Structure 1
Amino acid sequence: MRSVIVVGAGAMGRTWLDTIARRSDLHVSAVVDVVEGAARSAVEERGWDAPVFSTADGALSAVHADMLLNVTIPEAHLAVSSAALRAGVPVLSEKPVTPTVAEALQLADLSESTGVLLVTSQSRRFSPGISTFRDALQARGGAGQLDTRFFQNPRFGGFRDRMDHPLLVDMAIHSFDQARFLLDEDPESVYCEEFAPSWSWFDGGAAAEAIFRFPSGARFSYSGSWCADGLVTSWNGDWRGSAPDGTVTWDGEAEVVAQGRDDDPAAVPLGPAPDGEGLDAALAEFVAALDGGPVPSGEVHLNVWSLAMVEAAVQSADRGERIVLADVFDAARRDASAR
């Protein structure tokens, strides 16, 4: 049985605690949170006797760990993940792996130099719906034009309401990562416009339109809003892919529909999800890698591309021009080296 240190005992950290508890091959060896009493209450609510700590370093030096779950705020991801990697403990981190591409490259270098695995949980890759949608597109020659509409209306309160780029920075990475999964390639460039509808309750731009270009010539367009009252989409968005041999749509949940040139629209049966969905599947993929399985799709060297899509989209919105992803990486490498 593997021992797990969980760093972060807020709402998402507690969800991860329950995800771990559903597996018989894992147990929580410590819970960490900087907020006094948060870790203790999370442990006591579940009837556990795991020790609690206020720092990741304290937990790593006091208890045995086979893996660490980093569920802290993004600004703490670099410090917590670095501490674990230097201690030889593999890390599964909540998204984003770090707030910036430069910091992500630092962690990628550290993971490579220590030989310790670091993975970001992009849990929205894991569902029968998106897998079936991807398979249906590939069966029709692969999408050359991919679109998603994401329209939701969360009243979070707190820091998200004050962010400069709440939709792009805090949410769009899910859709951007899903696009990479669906197209099976990484983008070359993006043009993005961000704005604040007059009725928005966010200080920053809560709506955005972005177009990414990929090396194959494929385009991915993202249309999103976090202040859309009425007729909201799934939290996975509402997708459409046009391919050489037809078109496929996915409602973000369980409905995949395909139509060829001479066919009637037909529902595509969903495939199985042997490792579950969402967090359960992300955790299963990570544990399988520790057992010698395939490199997880969220491994840091791979996942940094999804973060770079966010950074490039923000730069494009700020500058009003197309941004080339290679330039984002070049600047981030210089920044990482300077650090």
Structure 2
Amino acid sequence: MSAPLPDPLPVVSVGAGGMGRAWLQVLRASPDVELVGVVDLDLDAARAAVADLGAPDLPLGTDAVELARRTGARAVVDVTVPVAHHPVTTAALFAGLPVLGEKPVAATLAQSLSLAAAAEVTGQLFMVSQSRRWNPQLARLAQQVSALGAVGAVSVDFFKAPRFGGFREEMAHPLLVDMAIHHFDAARYLLEGEPVSVYCEAWNPPWSWYHGDASASAVFEFSSGARFTFDGSWCAPGAETSWNGSWRVSGEHGTARWSGDDEPEVDTTAPVPTTEVTAHDGIAGSLAIFVDALRSGTVPGGEVHENVLSLAMVEAAVESAARRERVLLDDVLARAREQAVAEETRDDVRAALEGWGSVREALVGFAPRAADTSP
């Protein structure tokens, strides 16, 4: 039997960049956890981050597992760049440490499937912080959608004009890869069923300051028969939408709308549930839900198996834009599994991947064991 979890839960955080610093602030402020160490390959960056945090004596290291053992941490928060998600999270899971990781699950869908299999093999919880899902207004929109009966169409408009500089402006598909996953994940949250196919077009307007395609339109078919339409651009100055997008959901008993910033509105004669929604929000909400899941043994939203299909929607949309034709999600998942098996270096994880029937069944039907949080 594993030892009970300390309260607060001691954690180490990996990554001292911009997002890593945001997480450090949340971790220090949370009553649920105790930040006991910070990891970064650049120790000078880690030192600067903890100094700015007002905690210059926090232990530092370049290896999450080693620092967790040295400090007694019982979980890892992975805020590294996407290419590091797979090695950092795999090492932590096999060291007996549950992981809360920043989106996306990993740099590729294949690596994401490997991490889902690693969570199965180790029995550890790996939850992805898809932070925009933890929005009380989105939860109230979901309540309204539940009153609409069968849903025929969901649409979101997302038009912003950020000038990030850096890597985003050099990406081949900055909007689809770096941002649209939030909207795709929210659509999965709102709709019954899962995505089946997508047709997507992506392009770059002549005035764009991005190297790659900063605009895109995509239509997803869901297993319920509903269609989800995404229209967006990252180089659309004027009359900008919320970062959450502007939503419309059409069902047999009416329509619900959400500006992305204000309370959602519904036009229906059907009764709408009025139960209180969670107060969790943003990355602080992700953290609270992660800790609660560890203590209760429940499976949280954002558990790796549940989250992978949001990244699959991204990869399928990018593929559709390149091929200029409709793409089936199951084909994308099958090819990603083949790639994951070919790239896998652990025999036990490879065996788990090969033991899945269809990838979709493995993701949708998996019920993780309660995470063993023993050191």
Q: TM-score, normalised by structure 2?
A: 0.86
1:241 aligns with 2:245: no
Name the Cα RMSD after superposition. 1.7
C-alpha contact 1:151 1:233 (8 A) present in aligned 2: yes
Shift of 1:271: 7.2
Find the counterpart in structure 2 of residue 13 from structure 1: 20
Letter in 1 for 2:32: D
Q: Which residue in 2 is equivalent to 1:286?
A: 290
Q: Which position in structure 1 is the counterpart of 2:177?
A: 169
Q: How far, CA to CA, are the matches of 1:177 and 1:124 in structure 2? A: 9
Q: Return 5+ residue gaps in structure 1 as ranges.
A: none
Change (3 A) 1:269 1:198: farther
Matched, 1:35 2:39: no
Shift of the alpha carbon at 1:61?
Answer: 4.2
1:334 to 338, 348, 351: 338
Deviations 1:6-32, CA, capped at 9 Å, x for gaps = 001112111111111222231111101
User: How far apart are residue 42 of structure 1 and its match?
Assistant: 1.4
Q: Does 1:53 align with 2:61?
A: yes
5+ long unaligned stretches in structure 2:
1-7, 344-375
Q: Which amino acid in the other structure matches residue 131 of structure 1?
A: A
Which residue in the other structure is 2:97 paired with?
89
Structure 1 residue aligned with 2:299 = 295
* Distance in 2 between residues matched to 1:142 and 1:104, nearest whole Å: 32
Q: Is the 8 A contact 2:140 2:277 kept in 1?
A: no
What is the Cα deviation at residue 276 of structure 1? 2.8
- The 2-side partners of 1:224 and 1:294 are apart by 35
Question: 1:133 and 2:141 equivalent?
Answer: yes
What amino acid does structure 1 have at the position aligned with 2:310? S
Q: Who is 1:317 aligned against?
A: 321
CA shift for structure 1 position 36:
3.7
Is this contact kept in 2: 1:132–1:271, CA < 8 A?
no
Q: Distance in 1 between matches of 2:295 and 2:68?
A: 22
Give the 3-state SS of the residue equivalent to 1:144 in structure 2: strand
What's the CA shift for 1:185?
Answer: 2.1
Corresponding residue to 1:156 among 134, 149, 164: 164
Report the Cα distance in structure 1 between the residues aligned to 2:69 and 2:111, rounded to whole angstroms.
Answer: 24
Alpha-carbon distance in structure 1 between the residues aligned to 2:30 and 2:319: 41
Q: Judging changes above 3 Å, is the alpha-carbon distance between structure 1 residues 71 and 270 closer, same or farther for their aligned structure 2 residues?
A: farther
Q: Give 1:123-272 correspondences, 5 Å limit.
A: 123-260=131-268, 272=276
1:280-304, Cα deviation, whole Å (9 max, x unpaired):
1111111111012531111111111
Structure 1 match to 2:9: 2
**Is contact 1:192-1:320 (8 Å) kept?**
yes
Structure-2 residue corresponding to 1:105:
113
Give me the whole-angstrom Cα distance separating, in 1, the residues matched to 2:273 and 2:225: 29
Q: Give the superposition deviation at 1:162.
A: 0.6
Amino acid at match of 1:70: D
* Matched residue, 2:361: none
- Partner of 2:224, secondary structure, is coil
Deviates more, 1:170-179 or 1:6-15: 6-15
| 2:287 counterpart SS class | helix
Mapped to 2, the partners of 1:89 and 1:176 lie a distance apart of 29
Tell me how far apart the structure 1 counterparts of residues 253 and 170 of structure 2 sit (CA, whole Å).
45
Contact 1:127 1:273 in 2 (8 A): no
Q: Is the 8 A contact 1:6 1:69 kept in 2?
A: yes
Q: 1:25 aligns with which of 17, 23, 32?
A: 32
**TM-superposition CA deviations, 1:247-285 (whole Å, max 9, x none):** 110001123122237x9xxxx999755443111111111
Distance in structure 1 (CA, Å) of the matches to 2:99 and 2:219: 32
Percent of paired sites with the same residue: 49
Whole-Å Cα distance in 1 between the matches of residues 75 and 274 of structure 2?
Answer: 33
Q: Mean Cα displacement is larger for which, 59-68 or 82-91?
A: 59-68
Q: Which amino acid aligns with 1:185?
A: G
Tell me the amino acid that sits aligned with residue 14 of structure 1. Answer: R
1:227 is displaced (CA, Å) by 0.4
Any conservation in 2 of the 1:128–1:272 contact (CA below 8 Å)? no
Question: Are the structure 2 counterparts of residues 160 and 271 from structure 1 closer, same or farther at C-alpha, using a change threshold of 3 Å?
Answer: farther
**Structure 1 residue 233: deviation in Å?**
0.4
Preserved CA contact (<8 Å) 2:154 2:229: yes
Query: Residues 269 and 109 (structure 1 numbering): CA distance in 2 closer, same or farther, change over 3 Å?
Result: closer
1:326 and 1:248 mapped to 2: Cα distance?
30
Equivalent residue letter for 1:29:
V
2:236 alignment partner, SS class: coil
SS at match of 2:296: coil
Shift of 1:65: 1.5
Cα deviation per residue 1:199-245 (whole Å; 9 max; x = unaligned)? 11000000000000011110000001000101110000000000100
